[in-house]
Structure 1
Amino acid sequence: MFKKLFSRHSLGGKLLPNRVVMAPMNRNRATDWQLAPPAMTARYYAQRASAGLIIAEGTPVSPQARGCARTPGIYSGAQVAGWRKVTKDVHHAGGRIYLQLWHVGRVGHSSLRADRSPPVGPTGIGLHSDRVPILNGGAEPVMVPCDAPRGLTTEEVRLIVTDFVRAARNAVAAGFDGVEIHAANGYLFDQFRCPYVNDRADEYGGSLSNRWRFLLETVQAVAAAIGSARVGVRISPLGSAHEMQPDPDPLVSYGYLATRLKLLRIAHLHVYDQEGSWIHDRQGDLLPHLRACFPGTMILCGGFDRERAEAALRAGRGDLIAFGKHFIANPDLVDRLRIGAPLAPWNSTTIYKGGAKGYVDYPALDVAAVTAA
């Protein structure tokens, strides 16, 4: 009955053994001053290597790109070395892993940078109530309001494109099979897309094509650097995270983007429904429109279980299904989905806390015992 979810799929020249994707999730486990992934991060991802594809957590492409305490980066030699241990262990366990490249934009705090510089965004329009985790001199992160952002100059926007190119090359040097550019959830590229936040007067503001220009220039540059078959993009149409307002005309806006990404021949488009609602609406027109505009691999994420995943794949609404929090507490999620075993609940208090607890200590099923019962 669930043959489609566990069938193979080719992505970027690699054959995935199943269509289950581990969605990118921040776990905030980098604790040293170098902000490199620790040894237990390699264990964490290797435990989950049975996924058809792992997309590792959002990873800042520069010091300026950071928006949370303890997020590992991909802009220094120490960070590349740390990630190399992760990819080595995942590959040794038979897995495939991409890195999500991230710039938070206006979602941040000056204490997250050594030079105490403020967050940056399309303009100086800031957040009213959003909060971010910082260390603030203590051992455990505390939530504080975001600092007011500084609007980027035109030249600074272009320099961020080069940050993504460097990060993509670093990811390949670290052994990742590909990268995903994070253009969702109210972060920098989403801020440039949003007409309510982006009121720029240069070539990166105003018209729809101008507001997508920053992302498309970045995708094109990254694809030229590492090959388009290794590049994906994540979007969150209708999302309201980090005080975003839904796009006033999502079919036009995201249809334009999907068509342009098709022309750039990227490997995948990752569509995330933050509420887990519209992506399951069989009468809705947004997902079919995206599917028609982008013929490459489409990953769907948001509110999926085994039954919904299989139904979406059989209906041709997507090619791969991403699971997020279920992978936190179920390192063997693929096996559990295959045999229909119960899923373990995650401990919400340890998702971002740091340390091994709630990170690498969730047990796997004794599959043989379950299937024999």
Structure 2
Amino acid sequence: MSTLFEPIEVGRYQLSNRLVMAPMTRSRAKLNGTLGDFAAEYYAQRASIGLIVSEGAQPSDDGQGYLMTPGIYTDAHVTSWKKTVNAVHEKGGHLFIQLMHVGRMSHPDNTLHKRQGVAPSAISPQTQMFTATGMKGIPTPRALSTSEVHKTVDDFRHAARRAIEAGADGVEVHGANAYLIQQFFAPSANTRTDEYGGFIENRARFAIEVTKAITEEIGADRTAIRLSPGTTIWGIDEGEEGSALYRYLVGELNKLSLAYLHIMDMGNEALLNDIRQLWDQPLILNRPNRPRDQIGKDLAAGLADLEAYGQMVLANPDFVTRLKRGAPLNEADRSTFYGGTNQGYIDYPTLSV
């Protein structure tokens, strides 16, 4: 039986343990999309965890949706990420940059270009988003043309190359949480009549093309993807064929021999077991709000090869040490999750040696 503290090979890397820092938006980047001044310290503090998956970084201007999120497509972005990646490597850690295109989950006020968001179809998520002047309704997005879909695939490819130039160990494609890639999966967000809409093979096509393009650019052993089957937030409804779509998608992605598949579990245990059987490479499982006494359970059961944690790692830079010692965990301060000062960012206490 594998344990949390055993090393594991993921892609081209040997990780020191089977714990993963889940990607978490912190909204502390600068307006031009470069990382904030203390991002390097924030990530380096947590470098003892087996793998860090960074906050989502937009692969293009149109990929941004939230205020103060980082990019990874310009020279300035690369320079800012180099400092952070180097800091993690100096502590012996590994970091994959998550590539996040939010699609329709965008507000023009949060972007430099002030344009309408883009999506598979011109369907509003019918929700609000935080902006510098408060909560505002998200405008109906503009539907991407077929040629623009192809261009967006190239944007992901370009961003992956830039991530490697910044020194990242790899990239994780964000195909979860109701953002652009999952919008293509859901009939409630995708009513296209071209090769990217309709049948499940068509709705899965964009995710597969993005992932394949990245493997061609940086290698499959530095490429990963995150999925959240069954997500229903912000108007996403994958319909009766949702489980079938994921079985098809995972089967096709498995052919690419990626570094890992990262699943955010939404409660469909039957589908989760099927995905485990369909997937030959390392599988990371993230169960939101999993209590401490359940840590390691999925690994012990053989359902996952690694387990990802978000808020627990955010609040405990020495998460691995605390688990090994059975020490108490700091509680996360939700009021400091997004934006603000360094409070709740780099000031969580660690155990004394």
Provide Cα deviations, 1:140-160, integer angstroms capped at 9, x if missing partner: xx3221111011100000000
Mapping of residues 157-176 of structure 1, within 5 Å? 157-176=149-168
Residue 295 of structure 1 aligns with which residue?
Answer: 280
Residue 116 of structure 1 aligns with which residue?
Answer: 114
Residue 28 of structure 2 aligns with which residue?
Answer: 29
Provide Cα deviations, 1:59-114, integer angstroms capped at 9, x if missing partner: 11111110100001111111110000000000001100000001000011112333
Task: Give the Cα separation in 1 of the matches to 2:239 and 2:307.
Answer: 24
The TM-score with structure 2 as length reference comes to: 0.96
1:250 shift after superposition = 3.5
Task: Give the Cα separation in 1 of the matches to 2:235 and 2:260.
Answer: 27
Task: Give the Cα separation in 2 of the matches to 1:263 and 1:307.
Answer: 35
Letter in 1 for 2:25: N
Residue 131 of structure 2 aligns with which residue?
Answer: 134
1:174 shift after superposition = 0.3
Residue 315 of structure 1 aligns with which residue?
Answer: 301
Task: Give the Cα separation in 1 of the matches to 2:301 and 2:222.
Answer: 26
Mapping of residues 98-247 of structure 1, within 5 Å? 98-128=96-126, 130-136=127-133, 142-247=134-239
Task: Tell me the SS of whatever aligns to 2:38.
Answer: helix
Task: Give the Cα separation in 2 of the matches to 1:115 and 1:362.
Answer: 35
Mapping of residues 5-84 of structure 1, within 5 Å? 5-31=4-30, 33-84=31-82
Task: Give the Cα separation in 2 of the matches to 1:131 and 1:77.
Answer: 32
1:305 shift after superposition = 4.1
Letter in 2 for 1:113: T
**Partners of 1:327 and 1:333 within 8 A in 2:** yes
Change (3 A) 1:345 1:363: same
Task: Give the Cα separation in 1 of the matches to 2:78 and 2:296.
Answer: 36
Letter in 1 for 2:24: M
Which residue of 332, 345, 360 corresponds with 2:346? 360
Task: Give the Cα separation in 2 of the matches to 1:354 and 1:328.
Answer: 15
Q: Please, which moves more after superposition, 245-254 or 62-71? A: 245-254
Letter in 1 for 2:282: T
How much is the aligned-residue C-alpha RMSD, in angstroms? Answer: 1.4
Residue 326 of structure 1 aligns with which residue?
Answer: 312
**Partners of 1:237 and 1:247 within 8 A in 2:** no
**Count of paired positions:** 352
1:38 shift after superposition = 2.0
Residue 139 of structure 1 aligns with which residue?
Answer: none
Q: Percent identity?
A: 40
Task: Tell me the SS of whatever aligns to 2:204.
Answer: helix
**Partners of 2:57 and 2:72 within 8 A in 1:** yes
Task: Tell me the SS of whatever aligns to 2:296.
Answer: helix
Residue 86 of structure 2 aligns with which residue?
Answer: 88
Task: Tell me the SS of whatever aligns to 1:160.
Answer: helix
Task: Give the Cα separation in 1 of the matches to 2:305 and 2:239.
Answer: 25
Letter in 2 for 1:89: A
**Partners of 1:4 and 1:313 within 8 A in 2:** yes
1:322 shift after superposition = 0.2
Task: Tell me the SS of whatever aligns to 1:4.
Answer: coil
1:243 shift after superposition = 2.3
Task: Give the Cα separation in 2 of the matches to 1:113 and 1:329.
Answer: 29
Task: Give the Cα separation in 2 of the matches to 1:89 and 1:76.
Answer: 20
Unaligned runs of 5+ in 2: none
Task: Tell me the SS of whatever aligns to 1:56.
Answer: strand
Task: Tell me the SS of whatever aligns to 1:300.
Answer: strand
1:359 shift after superposition = 0.3
Task: Give the Cα separation in 1 of the matches to 2:144 and 2:248.
Answer: 24
Task: Give the Cα separation in 2 of the matches to 1:150 and 1:25.
Answer: 27
Task: Tell me the SS of whatever aligns to 1:269.
Answer: strand
Provide Cα deviations, 1:160-200, integer angstroms capped at 9, x if missing partner: 00100110000000010000000000000100011222110
Provide Cα deviations, 1:108-140, integer angstroms capped at 9, x if missing partner: 111233332100111111121x2222224xxxx
**Partners of 1:297 and 1:319 within 8 A in 2:** yes
Task: Give the Cα separation in 2 of the matches to 1:224 and 1:21.
Answer: 25
Which residue of 259, 266, 269 corresponds with 2:261? 269
Letter in 2 for 1:131: Q
